């Protein structure tokens, strides 16, 4: 099954008027969390990433690392498939946001699995690439070598330079949806109601209400 079909079938692609994580407005929203309810489909997607990075000579991945929360699932399934395909154990770890929320760090003893290892960083959807870049930095801070970044979907046209000059980004699919600054948003102009269930819609409306007082 193609990734787009999986996204549509699981309700991960929504249409309407959204405020994206970046603050921009758009008519399509990828609700990646919807995908995680379907373990078999997540497994299929992660198998696609694992197949790309399976070659022990070109990539020689020892450990798969991802940003929590969704990334916990992602690293597990990707490491599972890499282990199957390679016939050896590939570890799965995840990084968590630091207390100030500015960086990602490896806790729970996972730091010991990073040093001198070849690391595949995985992420579900790249929009700004911010979380992926922070995981890349966390790996390098521990002297791990990032050999690539594997993602379900690159929707922001993110380049290897955007995420800390990783050697390669592999995306199951590249999507390029139009988005606009608030001032240029045609949906705002038409007074289409903003979705408050996903994205930053609720915060956006709260801020607008605050400005109105
Ligand atoms: Zn708008």
pLDDT digits (tens, 9 = 90+) for 9-20: 898 888 899 998
- C-alpha 166/C-alpha 147 separation (Å) is 7
CATH number for domain 3-202, candidates 3.10.20.30, 3.40.640.10, 3.40.50.80, 3.40.50.2020: 3.40.50.2020
Q: Which of 28-32, 67-71, 146-150, 173-177 has the highest mean pLDDT?
A: 146-150
Extents of the domains making up the chain? 3-202
92 Cα–ligand 1 center, Å: 39
14 Cα–ligand 1 center, Å: 15
Q: What mean pLDDT comes out for the span 110-132?
A: 95
Say if residues 119 and 62 touch (Cβ distance below 8 Å): yes
pLDDT (0 to 100) of residue 199: 87
Give pTM, 2 decimals: 0.85
Say if residues 6 and 41 touch (Cβ distance below 8 Å): yes
31 Cα–ligand 1 center, Å: 18
179 Cα–ligand 1 center, Å: 9
126 Cα–ligand 1 center, Å: 21
| 44-81 burial code (b ≥16 CB/10 A, e <16) | bbbbbbbebbbeeeebebbbbbbbbebbbbbbbbbbbb
Peptide bond into 69 cis (omega under 30): yes
């Amino acid at each position: 099954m193609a990734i787009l079909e999986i996204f549509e079938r699981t309700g991960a692609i929504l249409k309407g008027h959204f405020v994206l994580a970046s603050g921009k407005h758009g008519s399509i929203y990828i609700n990646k969390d919807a995908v995680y309810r379907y373990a078999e489909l997540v497994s299929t997607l992660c198998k696609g990433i694992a197949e790309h990075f399976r070659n022990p000579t070109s990539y020689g991945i020892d450990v798969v690392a991802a940003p929590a929360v969704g990334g916990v699932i992602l690293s597990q399934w990707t490491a599972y498939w890499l282990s199957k395909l390679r016939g050896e154990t590939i570890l799965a770890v995840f990084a968590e946001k630091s207390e100030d929320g500015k960086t990602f760090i490896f806790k729970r003893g996972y730091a010991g699995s990073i040093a001198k290892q070849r690391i595949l960083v995985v992420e579900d959807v790249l929009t700004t690439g911010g979380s992926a870049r922070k995981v890349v930095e966390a790996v390098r801070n521990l002297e791990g070598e990032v050999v690539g970044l594997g993602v379900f979907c690159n929707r922001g046209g993110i380049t290897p330079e955007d995420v800390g000059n990783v050697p390669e980004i592999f995306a199951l699919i590249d999507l390029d949806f139009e988005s606009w600054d608030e001032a240029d948003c045609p949906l705002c102009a038409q007074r289409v109601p903003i979705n408050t269930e996903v994205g930053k819609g609720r915060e956006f409306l709260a801020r607008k209400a605050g400005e109105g007082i």
